Amino acid sequence: MNRKRIVITGIGGLCALGSDAPAIWDAMRNGRSAIGTLVHAPLHDLKTRNGAEIGELPEHGIDRKQLVSMDRFSLLAVIAAREAMRQAGLVSDETNTYRMGTVVGVGVCGWEAIEENYRALLLHGKNRAGIFTVPKVMPGAAAGQVSMSLGLRGPVFGVTSACSSSNHAFASAMDQLRSGRADVMVAGGTDAPLVWGVVKAWEALRVLAPDTCRPFSADRQGLVLGEGAGMAVLETYEHAVARGATILAELAGAGMSGDASDIVAPTVEGPTAAMRACLLDAGLAPEEVDYINAHGTGTKANDQIETAAIRRVFGAHAYKLSVSSTKSMHAHCLGASGALEMIACVMAVREGLVPPTANYREADADCDLDVTPNVAKKREVRVAISNGFAFGGTNAVVAVKAA
């Protein structure tokens, strides 16, 4: 099938690892985990005291009139999107504004504003909610705020599929470009779940680790929550070449599937189908993949099932792959995770370096792949894939190829 090639010309991000994409990658490549004691979030009666929070936001210059209508998850997305656009060297004007759009994935929406309003109304006796509550909390707010900040008037929408949201956003943005609806799409994900109500709900699921995140390690005890955002500028190859852009990597394909099984328990079949669909879409043989940025949450079941799915898809080649979970460093940022992991994949193919799985201590016979424990590995990475698997059985996988 002769389809438009889609390339990446800019990346941006911020999370506990750093306030921009270069800082995030520097921490990843050096195996530095940002998981620690939460100090900024009001924790009230929470048992959970660990996470990966952003210490301080970078100077962003966002107009105060826009700031007052933004929840934290939208603010993070705008900061990351601005960085990605600067690297891409793109500015919207009357000649291109309707050919540029954005898709932003979100896992939980604007819970900071929700919690502030519930506390004001129910605990402190206030008689009305904040005037911007609705536009702050809606899941599509981040996409709208990015479009306003950057002047993008093409396809603009949000997607939400829990922990697969970022990869669904990349797939959706790719579809807009392939279909000819746009020449440029700013795509990624964002989430700011470190608020009392959200963490309290995750505590009830009994999947949070008491200390840190140890994906694929036999002594893993669960996931750790984090906050952040990641964005990538996607363009058609022709558009990027015509303007003389530096191409960082190619977004070669995407695959999606649904488990249709259980709202929280994953299957082997769903992730297997998504990875196979991604390879088919990208026109890649399994043997061409060098690195998998795993979903790798650090829960017993998820890591074991993901390992089994990788074995099914890649066969004997599964043992020649490098695999790692960068959630061991930036934690599980829910809707933002896949976008932060996109930074890892782009930089892995550019530098020929596989970021490690930090905090790894003990081999697990059920997770017997090369999970790159603790120390980055130098190797040629021509193709990297990023796995996103979510509650609801929604799976999305994307493939990144060297430019």
Which of the residues are catalytic? 163, 295, 332
The bridge status of strand 228-236 relative to strand 184-191 is antiparallel
The token pair at 265 is 């328990």
The DSSP 8-state label assigned to residue 330 in this structure reads: H
18 vs 221: CA distance, rounded Å: 26
Q: Which amino acid is at 9?
A: T
Residue position matching structure tokens 């690892």: 17
For 52-80, letters b (16+ CB in 10 Å) and e give: bbbeeeeeeeeeeeeeeebbbbbbbbbbb
Q: How many residues does the chain have?
A: 403
Residue 82 and residue 150: Cα distance in Å, rounded? 7
CB atoms within 10 A of CB 376: 18
- Packing angle between helix 196-205 and helix 111-118, nearest 10 degrees? 100
Strands 100-106 and 156-159, sheet pairing: parallel
Give the dihedral of Cα atoms 363, 221, 327, 15; nearest 10 deg. Answer: -150
Contact 170, 252 (CB under 8 A): no
Residue 141 sits at the vertex; the CA angle it makes with 139 and 142, to the nearest 5 degrees, is: 95
Residue type, 209: A
